[in-house]
Structure 1
């Protein structure tokens, strides 16, 4: 594995540190008046989700880990476990449903997701950037209410609450960002 200097750590990098695999969430470079500069890095453990704040000086060497990314298809959920299938080898793997956190409702049957592997261990699931959902319930549009920045609450067919523009009605298809969990456009 390649070793990098402490000041070369970027958000999204995966590091081997203290015997675990950690993803850099936030990185800020600090230059105090006294002493050498360092990188203040917020790390998230990829195996158990715990967080850690660590300082790395430019002289510190850390191991950067490359994760292999594979596209896999979601099959079903049972007993809190999600089952995915590799579209090339047809191998199936199971991951706990909480690996997706609050983005879990956006996972749809047959959806192709990206799973990151470290050697043979599956660590992370990345959903597509945007998904199409149906509006289950929302208030009807009020005539004349066409202000540019006005939004109204809506509930999607998967139970997630979002804000939508006033012209979007019930039973309409909308595109939602899985990162920000916000309305993007009409489908």
Structure 2
């Protein structure tokens, strides 16, 4: 599917120079002289190399047509992660490199979306918000206010985050999967 170069957004996968690239960052630039362009930072999905490209606003780019399917995370071993298709219960395994550092956010039975290109898994999309239990946190320091300061906490899978002072050990919280920041306390 052809899209305008201005429409490229972070997270898009495009076909460029006979390879598939994941868009990491974009910056729309309109100089005082000359035409507008989109400065795009790309990462090759197959090679892992990064590339900075400048696309003029009148250019069109081929956006990779991906097939997104819903899966449920089952378990992992040293090299692979195992998922089950929620429609036909077929299991697949993917390498840990595909998900990268987001692997520690996976919990048993978590629903994810996996994007495929020609039946090859390319990208694992986690839900925007995830719920975790606070395993460990410091006590409240006298004089702290909920609006001005946060304290360190550890959630499941030994992930360190910052939480408001009113959060205690054993509380359930929602975090944003992309930034790993506290969103709210689950009542």
Aligned: 1:60 with 2:85: no
CA contact (8 A) 2:134 2:156 kept: yes
TM superposition shift of 1:4:
3.1
Aligned equivalents of 2:82 and 2:155: distance in 1? 24
TM-score normalised to structure 1 length: 0.88
- Choose 9-18 or 157-166, whichever is displaced more: 9-18
Match of 2:28 in 1: 29
Aligned equivalents of 1:70 and 1:143: distance in 2? 49
Match of 2:48 in 1: 49
With over 3 angstroms needed to count, the CA separation of the structure-2 counterparts of 1:26 and 1:84, relative to structure 1, is: same
- Choose 90-99 or 163-172, whichever is displaced more: 90-99
Listed one character per residue, the Cα deviations across residues 141-169 of structure 1 (whole Å, up to 9, x for unaligned) are 24553352211111112101111111111
Gap regions ≥5 residues in structure 2: none
Listed one character per residue, the Cα deviations across residues 91-139 of structure 1 (whole Å, up to 9, x for unaligned) are 2211112322222211001111110111201100011112221211111
Aligned equivalents of 2:19 and 2:121: distance in 1? 14
With over 3 angstroms needed to count, the CA separation of the structure-2 counterparts of 1:22 and 1:139, relative to structure 1, is: same
Match of 1:84 in 2: 83
TM-score normalised to structure 2 length: 0.88
Gap regions ≥5 residues in structure 1: none
Aligned equivalents of 2:5 and 2:169: distance in 1? 51
Match of 1:168 in 2: 167
Q: How does 1:29-178 map to 2 (within 5 A)?
A: 29-143=28-142, 145-178=144-177
CA contact (8 A) 1:46 1:124 kept: no
Aligned equivalents of 1:147 and 1:133: distance in 2? 20
- Choose 109-118 or 5-14, whichever is displaced more: 5-14
**Total equivalences in the alignment:** 186
- Choose 36-45 or 132-141, whichever is displaced more: 36-45
TM superposition shift of 1:40:
1.3
Match of 1:182 in 2: 181
